[in-house]
Amino acid sequence: MNVLLFQALMGKLLERHYGIAITDTPFACEAFVASRIKDGESVLACADGHACEHELARTDILGAFGTPSYSGITQDEYFAALAEVGGMQEMGDDPITCPKCGRRTDFGYGNFPNSQHHRCPANECGHEFVVSLEDVPADG
Ligand SMILES: [Zn+2]
């Protein structure tokens, strides 16, 4: 993870699910984000923590009987945002490499039936993205 990607992801999640801009949160500050990353905190955990702390209701979904929903962002929703911000690759015969620096990537930071979360091992790069597994049949 790197500061730019963290902020892009966080901005998308906050805007899409809580209707607020990242500039209304401490995550607009690069030093703040850098320290979160250093502590090993994920974007998802930080977004949930912020929403919880400020009692933010979801703006994209409603709870039961039209009441406000305070449910956290799901892994699927996180993956959708990561695919948009970090990019999406198809699984092919060649090993997956980082689109930013070309290194072979690590994965396994949350795997789903149809996709993998890949992370560039280079600290100075820190790019993360989604790889879709095309040999897995779709639902049904
Ligand atoms: Zn890289």
pTM over 0.85: yes
pLDDT of residue 8: 98
Q: Which residues pair with 97 in a beta bridge?
A: 104
In sequence order, the 6+-apart residues with CB closer than 8 A to the CB of 45 are none
Provide the residue-wise pLDDT of the chain in tens; the chain has 140 residues: 999 999 999 999 999 999 999 999 999 999 999 999 999 999 999 999 999 999 999 999 999 999 999 999 998 899 999 999 999 998 888 889 999 999 999 887 666 678 888 999 998 999 999 998 866 555 55
* CA 101 to ligand 1 centroid distance, Å: 4
* CA 97 to ligand 1 centroid distance, Å: 8
CA distances from residue 1 to 18, 33, 39, 129 in whole angstroms, order as listed? 23, 10, 12, 10
pLDDT of residue 123: 87
* CA 61 to ligand 1 centroid distance, Å: 35
Please give the Cα distance from 116 to 136 (Å, whole number). Answer: 12
pLDDT of residue 130: 92
pLDDT of residue 106: 86
* CA 52 to ligand 1 centroid distance, Å: 32
pLDDT of residue 114: 80
Please give the Cα distance from 93 to 79 (Å, whole number). Answer: 23
Strand arrangement of the beta sheet that strand 115-119 belongs to:
88-90, 128-132, 115-119, 106-112
Contact 85, 103 (CB under 8 A): no
* CA 60 to ligand 1 centroid distance, Å: 33
Torsion, Cα 125 127 133 134, to 10 degrees, reads: -90
| CA count, 13 A, side-chain hemisphere, 59 | 11
* CA 104 to ligand 1 centroid distance, Å: 8
pLDDT of residue 133: 81
* CA 88 to ligand 1 centroid distance, Å: 14
What are the sequence ranges of the domains in the chain? Answer: 1-77, 87-140
29: amino acid identity, one letter: C
pLDDT of residue 138: 54
Length reported for the chain? 140
42: left (phi > 0), else alpha (psi -120 to 50), else beta?
Answer: beta
